[in-house]
Structure 1
Amino acid sequence: MSGYVDRDLDADLSRWFPDEPRVEFSEPVRPVEPFLARLPHDAATALAGFDRRVRSGAMADLLDIADWSYGFEFEANDCEILDSDYTTRLSDDDVWSIGCDGGGNYYVVLTDGRVALLFHEEQVIEAHTRYENLDVFLWSVVRHRAVRAGVLGLAAVEEDFRSLGQPGALAPEIGLLAGLSSKKVPRFPVMKASGTRTKERTLAVIVREVDLVGRGSTTTPKPGSGRSQLEGRLPFGPGQLGGELCGIQADGTPA
């Protein structure tokens, strides 16, 4: 899987997402080079290749990549970042954000090269949903979206997902594969909080041991429990779903 970004990403995007809107920034984004210097060689190569594609407009927008989510300056926007022990404080030198999951949570590259989710409600780096590196993360995201779009069959990639053994893909209920495998995940056209219509996106609601017809009950995750029981993925920006914790308005500007 090493080298996927420079070797295969462009071809995959052309094959499955030729008409998907490409990333465009309306505001300047800080340079990635200082963070690259902190990464292992292969991780730096992957992020540098991804960064070139993002800034040049070659990258399909599969991760809510915008100037408020890519290379985001957490400290400058009064965001606290805690490591998975809920004690160790991290800084912008320790993470590089590469996009969002659609629910206000940031995907970040760590200095060891792994990719993790910054769970916005607790401002903590999740420990149980990480990816070994950016190459395998992007391989997974591209195929997840291709299956969702109906241009790739799940059977063609399910065993590959399992053999790669990435926690972010295999985590029960909230992993990428769990969402693809569930028959209880509806597809809805949804509205932005402002009332303006957005393109149809997947509203994935994954409920543990709860039938959508009404049996069972759900509970709100307790502090420190991370994402569990109920996970909603909505097309809202940081100011519309929890981003206000970081002092960001719905349009991505500081509050």
Structure 2
Amino acid sequence: MKLKFAHKVRRAAAFTLIELMVVVAIIASLAAVSWGPILDKLNDGDRTAAISNMRNVYSSLMDFNNSFGSFPCDSTAQDIEEQNGETATQYGAIKGNYSNDYLRQLFFLNNIGPSLEGNFYAKVAIADGRQVKEADKKVGGGKALAKGECAFGYVMRTDPDNADVRTPVTGNDATPILLSSVASKAPTKASDTRYDMNSFRGKLLYYTVSNSGKQVDLKEEESNSDYGTKEGLFGEDKKGRNNSNKYIVLPPNL
């Protein structure tokens, strides 16, 4: 005699489409609430690292100023050429249209090694796709501060009697000398310089002649929200006129 057993199959409980949509909405809401603070923390770290690297580069600029009598400029480039002869270009060009060129003069300081190159990094990504990369610390054979290995713009002045001659920043201790997020592709008057709004969440990081790291909010340009400007950054003269036209900003070669 064969016995038949009835087996009841229990189906696992399943979510309905509406329940699934509710779960997804809750997860999305939690992610939206938490992503802002996470981004703030990440950007705080990026800003802190950039300011720290700026401080290190500034320290080298001060050492250079003490050794050569000014910050890197056309005159110091000539001094380096006279002192070093054929090896004056061992690290690459020491003057030109990019901050890399003039800042490359710092490698002629005594006791400066390839590790200096790492101080020029900051997490900057320009809206048009140009980016800063980690330095490879290969400086010989003209490889110092190669394209993409410098994040900072460099501030200079133009000789009033010869627009082709670049002179160093002097005098006013509040004058910026290093700038982050410079989006311009060629040397510009300080008043016309564009900065990237996507780096450091719309803040401009800069270092002044007086060894002071600062950050300010950029002003969005109406024509393009990817780029911004900062009026009044270079102060005014005794007659209340904007000083920006006296300075030029050399962008990094990205």
Normalised TM-score (structure 1): 0.25
Whose RCO is larger (CA < 8 A, sep 6+)?
2
Normalised TM-score (structure 2): 0.25
Larger strand percent: 2
